[in-house]
Structure 1
C-alpha cells in the first residue's frame, strides 16, 4: 500500500513506524513542512503508561525515548498573593523530554525501517496531495487537509477563554511546578516542567482581564518576556524566560478544542491533533497521538479492505476519545475561573485543583492533608521509586535517576 503521512509530528511518524513493523511492504512517505529539528513548543510531558504502550509496540524506539527523557517526582503548587503565600504538594511522578529530541528519535527509527521522511516540503494546497492509496492527515490542530474537507469531517472548533504562551526557561525545575502570582490586574500563573538539561518548559496562562490589565495584549512578544520575568521573579528564582525556539518569538494564543463527527473521508484519515485536541493541563497529547498511530496500523493489518479498517479505527478511537476530551474540557474550564479557589489557603487550593475532574470521597481530602507533611511525602516517594524500579526492570530498562530535589522544609 502506498501511504502518505502529512505531518512529521508524533502521530505521523509513529504511525509510519507502527505500519512498517506490521507490514514492511508498505511504501510510506512522511511529508513535513518544517526543516529538521525545527519544532513548535519546548518539551512534552508523559506518564509511565506511555512507556508501557511504546514497549509493547516497538521496544527499540521505546528504549530511545526513555533514555532521552528526564524523570521528575512530585508536583508543587506555589501561590503568592495578597492573602496567602505558600507551597502545597501533590504526589506522583512523570517523564518529560524535549519535543525536538522526541521527533529526532522517531524520525531516525522511521528511516531505519524504510520510511521516506521528507522535511521542508510544504503542502500549499490540499488538492495537491501526492498520489496514494491512503493519506494520513497528521498536520496538527490547524490541519489544512481537515480544513479543506471540514464539512465532510464535521469539524467543530471551540476556542478557550484564556490567553496562554508557550515559553522556555533556563531554570531547570526538578518537578512539575504550578506557580500562581497575584498582580494588581489579577492572577497569572505558569505550568512548568523540566524538558532537557538546563531548560524547562514554561506555559504562562491568565484570564483575558489580567492579560489586558497587564498590557500583554498590546506588548510585542519580545517585550512581554521581561514583564513576565518580573512577575514570576520568585518562582523563577531570578532565571530568564526564553521566547525564541525557532527564530521567531512565541505568540499568545487561545486553546483550540477540536472535535470531528468522523475522522475518515474516502482514503483520507485524521490522526493526532488534526483529529482531536486535549487541553495542555491534561498532559495527554503525545500519548493520544501514539495510540491513534497504533490503532490505525493495527486496523490496516487486521482488515483486508482498507475502507473497513478506516471505519473500525474511526469508530474505536472516537468512542475512546469522548471521555478524554470531556475531561480535558472540564480541566480547561476550571483553569478559566480559578479566582474563587485562589481565595483559599495554598493547601486547600491545591486540593481543589487536584480534584477538578469531579467529586471525590471524603478520605481523599484527609490523605491530601497528610501528604503535606515531609515524612509522608518521603514515604510516598520511596513507594513510587520501588514501583517505578519494578516496571523499569520488567521493561528491561535501567531505571532513570531522579532530578535533584533540595530538602523540603515543609512540616
Structure 2
C-alpha cells in the first residue's frame, strides 16, 4: 500500500513505524511542513499503560522513549502559602522535540521517508492509497472537507499559556495564587534533567485585570515569574520564540468530528479529536489512534472496513476520557467554588475533578462522602482479604476437636 502521512507529529510517525513493521513493502512518506527540529510545546506526559502498549507495538521505540524520559510519583499543590503533598501513580515526561526525534529516527531506519518542509495542501493531496491526516487541531486536510467530517469546535472559557522553565520539578506541581483580579494557577512537570513544562491558566477577567492580555512576552513572563516565585525558586520562565514579541495566550479548542474518514482520507490524533490539556492525555490518545489504525489495517483485507472499524473502536474508547476532560476543564473554570476549602480537601477534589457529580454536590459534602466511600471500600477490601483467612481459621477450629478425638481413639459425631 502507498501511504501518505500528513503531519510529522507523534501519531503520524508512530503509525508509519507500525505499518512498516507489519509489511516492509508498504511505501510510506511522512510530510512535515516545518523544518526538522522546529516543534511547538515543551514536554509531554504519559503513564505506564502507554509504555506497555508501545512495547507491544515496537519494543525498540518503547525502549528509546523510556530511556529518554523522567518520572515522578507524587503531586504537590501550593495554595497561597500552604502546601499539600499527595502520592499518586507513576507519571512520565519527555521533551516533545526529543520524542519526535526518536520516532523519526526509528521510522527512517525501517524505510519510511520523512520529508521536512514538505507542505501538503488540501487541494493537492499526495497520490496515495491512503492519506492519514495527522496535522493537528488546525488540520488543513480536515478543514478542506469539514462538511464531510462534520467538524465542530467548542471554545473553552479560560486563557492559558504553554511555557518552559529551567526549574526541574521533582513531582507534578500545582500552584494557585490569588491576585487583586482573581486566581491564577500553574501546572508544572519535568520532561528532562534540565527543564520542565509550566502551563499557566486563569479566567479572562484575571488575564485582563493583570494586564497580561496586552503585555509583550518579555514583560508578561517577568510578571508571571513574580506571581509564581514560590515554585520557580528564581528560575526563569521561557516562552515560544515567534519573532514578533507577542505572548501566546490561547483558548482551548475542543474538537469533535461526526466521522473520521472520507474516501481514502482518515483523521488521526488532534486532527480527529482533542481533550483538555488538564488530563494530560493528548499525546497518549494520538499514539493509541496510531496503534488502533495500524492494527485494523493489518487485520482486515478491505481498507474501508478497516477504517470503519478503527473509527468505531476509537470513538468508543474515547467516550470516558472526553467526559473526564470536559469535567476537568469545568473544574478549573469554576475554581472559586473549591479554592477556599482547606488545602487537603481542595487537593482531594482536584483529584476528583473528572466526576460528573462533583459540580452538583456541595464541595465539603462531596469530600465527606468521598472519604466515607473510600473507607467503606477499604473495609470491603479488608473483608475480602480476611474472608478466606477467617474461613480457614473457623474450619481449623471446627476440625481441632475431631483431630484430638481421633488421636485418642474416641468416637465423634458429624454435625
TM-score range, shorter chain: 0.7 to 0.9
The partner residue of 1:234 within 213, 230, 233 is: 230
Task: Please list, as runs of the form range in 1=range in 2, the aligned pairs for 1:270-285 lying within 5 A after superposition.
Answer: 270-285=267-282
What SS does the aligned partner of 2:301 have?
coil
Task: Measure how far apart 1:90 and its partner are.
Answer: 2.2
Match in the other structure for 1:31 = 31
Q: Structure 1: where are the runs of 5+ without partners? A: 370-411
TM-score (norm 1): 0.85
Match in the other structure for 1:325 = 322
- Worse-superposed segment, 231-240 or 66-75: 231-240
Would the aligned equivalents of 1:351 and 1:365 in 2 still touch at CA under 8 Å?
no
The partner residue of 1:365 within 365, 371, 378 is: 371
Q: Structure 2: where are the runs of 5+ without partners? A: 358-365, 376-415
Match in the other structure for 2:383 = none
- 1:312 has 2:312 as partner: no
Match in the other structure for 1:66 = 66
Would the aligned equivalents of 1:192 and 1:201 in 2 still touch at CA under 8 Å?
yes
| Partner Cα distance (1:310, 1:349) in 2 | 44
What SS does the aligned partner of 1:111 have?
helix
Match in the other structure for 1:176 = 172
- 1:56 has 2:26 as partner: no
| Structure 1 residues 361 and 344, CA gap change in structure 2 (3 angstroms) | closer
- 1:91 has 2:97 as partner: no
Number of equivalent positions = 364
Task: Please list, as runs of the form range in 1=range in 2, the aligned pairs for 1:173-212 lying within 5 A after superposition.
Answer: 173-212=169-208
What SS does the aligned partner of 2:223 have?
helix
- Worse-superposed segment, 53-62 or 90-99: 90-99
| Partner Cα distance (1:67, 1:261) in 2 | 38
Task: Please list, as runs of the form range in 1=range in 2, the aligned pairs for 1:6-405 lying within 5 A after superposition.
Answer: 6-80=6-80, 85-92=81-88, 93-123=90-120, 125-244=121-240, 251-358=248-355, 364-365=370-371
| Partner Cα distance (1:37, 1:222) in 2 | 24
What SS does the aligned partner of 1:21 have?
helix
Task: Measure how far apart 1:246 and its partner are.
Answer: 6.9
| Partner Cα distance (2:70, 2:109) in 1 | 25
Task: Measure how far apart 1:130 and its partner are.
Answer: 1.1
Task: Measure how far apart 1:172 and its partner are.
Answer: 0.6
Would the aligned equivalents of 1:46 and 1:94 in 2 still touch at CA under 8 Å?
yes
Task: Measure how far apart 1:244 and its partner are.
Answer: 3.0
Task: Measure how far apart 1:248 and its partner are.
Answer: 6.8
* Alignment root-mean-square deviation, CA: 1.8
| Structure 1 residues 248 and 309, CA gap change in structure 2 (3 angstroms) | farther
| Structure 1 residues 298 and 283, CA gap change in structure 2 (3 angstroms) | same
What SS does the aligned partner of 1:218 have?
coil
What SS does the aligned partner of 1:37 have?
coil
* Cα-to-partner distance string for 1:252-288 (whole Å, 9 max, x where unaligned): 1010001000000000000000001011111111111
What SS does the aligned partner of 2:50 have?
helix
Task: Measure how far apart 1:189 and its partner are.
Answer: 0.5
| Partner Cα distance (1:28, 1:247) in 2 | 34
Match in the other structure for 2:392 = none
| Partner Cα distance (2:143, 2:342) in 1 | 45
- Worse-superposed segment, 262-271 or 300-309: 300-309
Would the aligned equivalents of 1:138 and 1:272 in 2 still touch at CA under 8 Å?
yes
Task: Measure how far apart 1:365 and its partner are.
Answer: 2.8
| Structure 1 residues 152 and 22, CA gap change in structure 2 (3 angstroms) | same
| Partner Cα distance (1:364, 1:340) in 2 | 17
| Structure 1 residues 241 and 299, CA gap change in structure 2 (3 angstroms) | same
Would the aligned equivalents of 2:269 and 2:285 in 1 still touch at CA under 8 Å?
yes
What SS does the aligned partner of 2:353 have?
coil
Larger relative contact order (C-alpha < 8 A, sep ≥ 6)? 1
| Partner Cα distance (2:333, 2:196) in 1 | 24
Which is higher, the Rg of structure 1 or of structure 2? 2
Match in the other structure for 2:380 = none
* Cα-to-partner distance string for 1:185-241 (whole Å, 9 max, x where unaligned): 110001100011221100000011100100111112232111111111122122110
* Cα-to-partner distance string for 1:279-316 (whole Å, 9 max, x where unaligned): 11111111111111011111111111111111111111
TM-score (norm 2): 0.85
